[in-house]
Structure 1
Amino acid sequence: MRSSREEVMSITKKLVQQESIVNTEGEKLLAQTLHALISGLPYFMDHPDQVILAPTSEDERERHNVLAYVKGTKGNSGRTVLLMGHLDTVGTDDFVHLQEDACHPDRLMEKLRKEELPDSVREQLDSGDWLFGRGVLDMKSGLASNTYLLKYYAEHPEKLDGNIVYLAECDEEDSSHGILSALDMLRQWKEQLGFTYVGAINADFVSPRHTEDRNRYVYRGTVGKLLPSFFITGAEAHVGSCFEGMDPNLIAAELTRQISYNPELCDEADGEVTVPPVSLKQTDLKPGYTVQTALSAFVYYNFFVHSWSPEDVLNKLKGQALVAFEHALSIYGARYRQYCEMTGEPVRQIPWAPRVFTYQEMEEQLVHEHGVRFTDHMDRFKKNLLEDTSLDVRMFSVRVVEEAWKWMADRSPAVVLFYSSLYSPRVRITGETSDEAALNRALDRAIEDVQPMYPHPIKVRNFFPHISDMSFVSISDDEEGIGAVRDNNPAWGTKHFVDYEAVRELQIPVINIGPYGMDAHSKMERAEMAYSFEVVPALTRSVIERLIGADETQTAPVMEVREAHS
């Protein structure tokens, strides 16, 4: 196999120069560019039905995925490997005065040479071994590697006793409309073409785990991500008589103190530990300024999982919310008594006690108490609320909780716990199935093939540490676990829905072999070219051919890697 460096670099620059910020017209334009590029290859000119520009479904925007497949001619196997990667990026506002150059790597690097930079960044820039620019790392160089390999196998289908499916999906950076829409076509090809998906290889970026880390990582499976959310009600009061009420912001503050950065909420599995949850939003729900304390507040947290189910997380956070509520009341009581001592006012008994419900518990109680009157009202409310397009799924969800709360007979201070956004399921590749075991073996042997030609250690870890579309080609949760997401998401079936059974039907064991670099989502985003343009396609090709092409005596793809400045 000829050296991939120059060709993957060329494709990377071509993809980067077409700005494709998520939720903008650029996403659609890049999909069209990719579709045209692939359609122009001789193989696809002869097989035009094997490349598709597919619109997303249930999406407020017009955008597309690009799918293609190459059928191997070495044999008649239906065994199929999926190559996947997203084509969208985050925005470019962080580049400030260099924003116009953000998607033009050569131009940007010339400008950066005149900037004040950290020593390590300066060294990498001057080395000539690193490429800078928005999307270079996350993840257009990975997508370029997949495109390069699609082209290679389109030219050499005789290498495969099986098939390659290529997927470039949109909207990974926001709501995963791309991958969720692509599931239908993947299932259709499975049924109509007899494809048996034996493995998926994602090409998302990898980075060092700490400043002294020189390893390059490949990953089996991925972390799961939830957005546990809390609607907090207080007791309203005039600020001049603040102790007559209970400020929900105090409970929210204690909740964040209890949950954010709490190692007790790190999920350990297979010797690896998730980062703890952290607050992503904390606000009261007053529409504007008044001299009344807020009636309610809203908080949500990022929450990663390796082995815990969504139901496990609800149970753990319900306990944490109870502790936080008790702390808030304790602080309130102590300060109230201190104030009364200072003023000479009599101390009254605090009338509230900690109360924490899940959304499912509250809804079941309200259905029991009010029956069809409540359910019909909430159905109408949600339908009308959908007309407000300014509400994202998180704000839509809390408005539904807020409306349901009005039906509670006892509306004294309480906390309602729910999920308000997409659940990206955890994927745990244990090797227990024959496909998982074969994929693990192929990955281990691929590293053995390539490692002698690359100076830095290539290490395997079990969970890709970032949110990714890997979560939607396989699933490790059982129906009960997924049921906790469905039953505790107020937007489910209206503003939000995911067909997790479609994911379970595919159940493709998935790994990540992606470009190496630093500072994704920031102005200094950069990829190391030796690893990203040479090692990544070599590793990926080795895995592919061990699964559906080469025999066990296969030698590594030919590659010569210059030592990169790390």
Structure 2
Amino acid sequence: MLRCKEEVSSLTKELVNIESIVNTDGEKEIGIELYNLISNFPYFIKNPSQVILSQTRNETIERYNVLAFVKGTKGTSNNTVILIGHMDTVGIDDFNHLSEIATRPDELVEEFKKEVLSPLVREHAESGEWMFGRGSLDMKSGLASNIYLLKYYSEHPEELDGNLVLVSECDEEDSSNGILSSLKDLKAWKEEHNFNYIGAINSDFVSPRYEGDENRYIYKGTVGKLLPSFFITGAETHVGSCFEGLDPNFLAAELTRHIDYNPDLCDEALGEIPAPPVSLKQMDLKPSYTVQTALSAYVYYNFFVHSWSPKDVLERLKVEATIAFQNALELYTERYKKYCEMSGEPYRETIWTPRVFTYEEMNDLLVDEHGEAYLSHMESFKKELLQDDSLDIRMYAARVVEEAWKWMPDKRPAMIVFYSSVYSPRIALSGETENERNLISALDEAVLAVQPEYEHPIVIRNFFPYISDMSFVALNDDEEGISAIIENNPSWGTKHYVNFQDIRDINVPIINIGPYGYDAHKKYERLEKKFSLEIVPNLTNEVIRRLIG
């Protein structure tokens, strides 16, 4: 066992002290600070080209990734293991009057002790065995573990028969442009140094799965994450004649009732089940108050996958949307008839039927109908829309669909399903390849070796349950699945683009060995010191030794 707790703790605090909130100058600052730190290790003073400060690509904001590698001298193998961790954090507004010390763990815990705390938080705060502070758990302690191991092997390259690469990336908490940019550097090193990437270890945080759960989890592969979105049109009317129209908010509400928390939409694989879909936004697109019902509504859902492709999800949601549409029309008819009975007004048969299209289907229809005029208009519209900095990728996509809808010859109520954000691909380690089998074996042996040093069970599961940059170093989806993303994301090629070939070119199996704690992204974010600062580096090291030691 490496006796690393104090050094990893010191590194963690050093990193936490740098406020590096995503999409702020703090990301630039921490990149530069980390680059300077690593550059001053004796190994990198002698080998300065083996550490780089790499600005992210295709962005207006200035921020950096830091990459470094140690070449082992034990043998001649080009096998290479990658250590991955992100430097950015979420914001600190939730700390309120303690915001100024949100990144100073020692001061923060003393202030917390003065507050009214839940019994568990108080127990942790007073025990001395937990470290608080923004980014401590998610995930600067994991990054500190990786830096410690890079430093160790820079001092002992004779213990490596292969190479160890560190990737410290920005922008994990928003759009993953950090890891996506770093793929270019990894690819360049692969070509220049003939690196054979055989395994990667991410170091993002882990937490209990339920109250009273004492397990500390290690994950093989990761959940995938999609953002299926719906543009929903109705038939506008004056509110005084509400049954002469169809409110798109009514359709959206039924769609959300049908999809939200629906366990039938959980993608079970390898005996594990992800969280069900849940709505992240629901709104109409009416710009201001009038007594006319809205023309359209917009809703999108978080959707986790273990085995389903983006194409599979679209097909399932078309079915669910059709059912929800039909349910809404039946309820509308039922209420309309009852109103007519109460008011004495004559009942008229409703004329609407469920209509659900994918964006790709609608786009193809419009190209067939209008040809070059439509294509040229939409290209100009997208470029002009890019000038509106207030639109994130999700609202940008909605506005593109809204504009395309204007060209539809049949404007009866409909739902258009599409994707409006980055796709985080799922990764399953099934043992189909030699690299996967070797990584799984190394992980199993590492846990057996380290478990006697730790009181709580260390348990291996198949899918990391949170969104992370693990998704961008390997690709399980086939061309058809990726095509469904490209053809059904209205912002593709303008506001949003991912070079999936870069991912395929790296295509390395990945596991997650990360710090353990509670309340990531919350005020009382904290890590358990023993596991996070000592067990995690040793588990990671045992995997490294079994792969390239």
Give the shorter-chain TM-score range: over 0.9
Summarize the alignment of residues 36-435 of structure 1 with structure 2, pairs less than 5 Å apart: 36-435=36-435
Matched residues in 2 for 1:198 and 1:343: separation? 73
Matched residues in 2 for 1:465 and 1:504: separation? 23
Matched residues in 2 for 1:123 and 1:392: separation? 41
Runs (4+) of structure 1 moved beyond 6 Å?
none
Specify the alignment match of 1:511 in structure 2.
511
Matched residues in 2 for 1:404 and 1:5: separation? 57
Matched residues in 2 for 1:2 and 1:216: separation? 19
So what's the TM-score if we normalise by structure 2?
Answer: 0.99
Helix, strand or coil at the partner of 2:219: strand
- Name the Cα RMSD after superposition: 0.7
The answer to whether the 8 A contact 2:285-2:297 is kept is yes
Matched residues in 2 for 1:2 and 1:136: separation? 21
Matched residues in 1 for 2:23 and 2:275: separation? 28
Matched residues in 2 for 1:194 and 1:339: separation? 75
Specify the alignment match of 2:522 in structure 1.
522
Q: What letter matches 1:527 in structure 2?
A: L
Q: CA deviation at 1:339?
A: 1.1
Q: What letter matches 2:513 in structure 1?
A: I
Does residue 1:487 correspond to 2:471, yes or no?
A: no
Matched residues in 1 for 2:517 and 2:159: separation? 31
Q: CA deviation at 1:104?
A: 0.5
Matched residues in 1 for 2:97 and 2:245: separation? 49
The answer to whether the 8 A contact 2:278-2:303 is kept is yes
Q: What letter matches 1:42 in structure 2?
A: P
Q: What letter matches 2:299 in structure 1?
A: V
Q: What letter matches 1:377 in structure 2?
A: H
Helix, strand or coil at the partner of 1:164: strand
Specify the alignment match of 2:464 in structure 1.
464
Matched residues in 2 for 1:344 and 1:206: separation? 62
Specify the alignment match of 1:562 in structure 2.
none
Give a deviation string over 1:199-244, Cα, whole Å, max 9, x none. Answer: 0000000000001210000000000000000000011111111111
Structure 2: unaligned runs, 5 residues or longer: none
Matched residues in 2 for 1:340 and 1:346: separation? 6
So what's the TM-score if we normalise by structure 1?
Answer: 0.96
Matched residues in 2 for 1:394 and 1:278: separation? 16
Matched residues in 2 for 1:246 and 1:58: separation? 43
Helix, strand or coil at the partner of 1:524: coil
Q: What letter matches 1:138 in structure 2?
A: D
Q: CA deviation at 1:2?
A: 4.4
Does residue 1:21 correspond to 2:21, yes or no?
A: yes
Q: CA deviation at 1:385?
A: 0.8
Matched residues in 1 for 2:17 and 2:435: separation? 38
Give a deviation string over 1:391-431, Cα, whole Å, max 9, x none. Answer: 11101101110111111111010000000000000001111
Q: CA deviation at 1:320?
A: 0.7
Aligned residues: 549
Matched residues in 2 for 1:343 and 1:509: separation? 66
Q: CA deviation at 1:127?
A: 1.0
Specify the alignment match of 2:535 in structure 1.
535
Helix, strand or coil at the partner of 2:44: helix
Helix, strand or coil at the partner of 2:368: helix
The answer to whether the 8 A contact 2:239-2:292 is kept is yes
Helix, strand or coil at the partner of 1:269: coil
Matched residues in 1 for 2:166 and 2:2: separation? 21
Q: CA deviation at 1:125?
A: 1.2
Give a deviation string over 1:509-552, Cα, whole Å, max 9, x none. Answer: 00000000011000110000000000000000010010001xxx
Matched residues in 1 for 2:55 and 2:120: separation? 42
Q: CA deviation at 1:60?
A: 2.4
Matched residues in 1 for 2:90 and 2:328: separation? 38
Matched residues in 2 for 1:120 and 1:159: separation? 42
Q: What letter matches 1:472 in structure 2?
A: F
The answer to whether the 8 A contact 2:2-2:538 is kept is no
Q: What letter matches 2:328 in structure 1?
A: A
Helix, strand or coil at the partner of 1:134: coil
